[in-house]
Structure 1
């Protein structure tokens, strides 16, 4: 369980810090499709294990946390279910993006990858301006923010976008985007 928590924290830190510095990581759609059953299986297993541990311990773990005020039994159940969901989804994210992030950091090289555009004119949301949505990726990876407006204006649903950066065929840290000719 400690190993799972360490993986969740480290992968989340790498993804958040890379996004904070303006260089986001995007896994390859074929990699995500390949590991999706494993990722969701691991996420469900971790979520159920966390819920099972909370139920087996009669949810008294919340009484031992130093800064948590006394909770009602209903609040403890809600917190246990919520924590299980968060850890389960975090596990899906870790399994989906952890190995390509580690590979990109340890053995990556400068490369480019073509992504398909699903929605080139997605509405802006909380600090994400000039937003587009990439196709064939789960919601946690498909959003691209702060894309150049001149480039964004040329995109249509189904058009292709070349991402240049540092990584492996399974994913890369994005440095720049440019319009791409259809790979067909």
Structure 2
């Protein structure tokens, strides 16, 4: 009898939790649980990578240490390169939204969510003029929740940056 009561309470609590998650909305629910995924611009010069396997880093040669993969430099000026990448990201990902204040046109920051559960991820882009006159790109994507993103952020950056 006691087991039946405990099981009923657990099922009721699970049902109420699922209903609240649906009524509040998936994105808002995760924000209430874990806080805003937007914690400000990633500092490519000093910031540490995630201690878990839920992030990805891509850079043009010489711009960062130990990227997951390198990307070629762009011929556009830094502001134009960031704008083009931003437009490409927004066109490819209907769940992405730009969250930076746009004060620095060589940087952009986006929050996006996984399609089903709406787990939040943040994407940082930064462009820098290279000595050869081209523009180098640095891109960092990180899941806010969990210890592994199963390679989703790496795949996301590869798609954005045109890497096979």
TM-score, length of structure 2 as denominator length: 0.27
TM-score, length of structure 1 as denominator length: 0.24
